[in-house]
Amino acid sequence: MDQDAALERSMRRALELAAHGPSTGPNPRVGCVLLAANGEVLAEGWHRGAGTAHAEVDALGKLPGGAARGATAVVTLEPCNHTGRTGPCALALIDAGIARVVYAVSDPGRESSGGAERLRAHGIDVLGGFLEAEVSAFLADWLTAARLGRPFVTLKWASSLDGRAAAADGTSRWITGPQARLDVHRRRAAADAIIVGTGTALADDPALTARDAAGELLPSQPIPVVIGSRRIPADAALRSHPRPPLFFPTDDLTAVLANLHGRGIRHAFIEGGPRLASAFVAAGLVDEYLVYLAPTLLGGGRLALGEIGVSGIDEQRLLTIEHCGRLGEDLLVVARPR
């Protein structure tokens, strides 16, 4: 197998390893494969969450001293150059005698970037941008948070084919079927926070938990966040959430997201209602749309999305469809802003 093919195989393996890490929390999911000069895999590693060894250090730790000298490290993210709970990965690679580092995505962090420069300064051959697009898609939420200083924002709604989120009397359980609802819960569990407005919290009394098909709590639960000035009763379902809810009596969405980012929240999942959803869209703060469409018609004025600041066709919010598929009788459309 030629060198490029071996590197591609190893980078894809590093991406598989990265997926073992936690999808929530302030740190990115990273994988690393260490290769001998002949292409043999020496060790593998991945990051298991804040405070634990980074992927490169995890892989190096599986080898006896000196065994990594002259090896190639294939890693999904540029080795960090930051001392936090753990030391810089760039320095660990230098100390281990690594001869070459191949990474996919540059680290955009103000404090953690610069690892590639440090490696080159110590005579290590560095190749960046290898399978960059593929790994960037995997790290999209963390990269957005690192670049913008706010969480990656996913906006979800379920509606009839005519765009209604509820019947004329306000009832909405259930528009979509069980497979779609199970998919929503799986995606909730992969987010750090789940956001609703006080209108939805009062009208629907949602628990804002992530559950399996049997109704049991999933191991990972998003932090419930409520935005709005109306008071939420002491016996509201969300107050019994496994994680203490956060309340923001404000309409300053940018400030809310900055606050959440400061708490280590990197992916926020908006569940509604239509007024809050529209405000996020109008402010240009949505990075991903999840639209669940049920094969039914409701009519009336209970739209899934309201005013978003578009008065003419030239102001339309253009999206790119990333995925479209069936979930039982329903459709799921995943889209992102162009």
Catalytic positions: 56
Q: Known binder of ligand: residue 172?
A: yes
Q: Sign (positive/negative) of CA torsion 59, 109, 107, 187? A: positive
Q: Known binder of ligand: residue 229?
A: yes
Q: Known binder of ligand: residue 276?
A: yes
Q: Known binder of ligand: residue 23?
A: no
Q: What is the dihedral of CA 248, 141, 283, 252, to 10 degrees?
A: 20
Q: Known binder of ligand: residue 200?
A: yes
Give the list of residues 6+ apart from residue 116 with CB closer than 8 angstroms, or none: 78, 79, 90, 101, 103, 106, 126, 128
Q: Known binder of ligand: residue 275?
A: yes
Distances (CA, A) of 205 to 226, 250, 290, 338: 12, 20, 22, 35
Q: Known binder of ligand: residue 144?
A: no
Q: Known binder of ligand: residue 174?
A: yes
Q: Known binder of ligand: residue 137?
A: no
C-alpha span between 97 and 110 (Å, rounded): 26
Q: Known binder of ligand: residue 106?
A: no
Q: Known binder of ligand: residue 89?
A: yes
Q: Known binder of ligand: residue 274?
A: yes
Q: Known binder of ligand: residue 263?
A: no
Q: Known binder of ligand: residue 271?
A: yes
Q: Known binder of ligand: residue 273?
A: yes
Q: Known binder of ligand: residue 183?
A: no
Binding annotation: 54, 80, 89, 158, 172, 174, 188, 200, 204, 208, 211, 229, 271, 273-279
Q: Which residues are annotated as a binding site for substrate?
A: 172, 188, 208, 211, 271
Pick out the residues of the known binding site for NADP(+): 158, 174, 200, 204, 229, 273-279
Binding-site residues for Zn(2+) sit at: 54, 80, 89
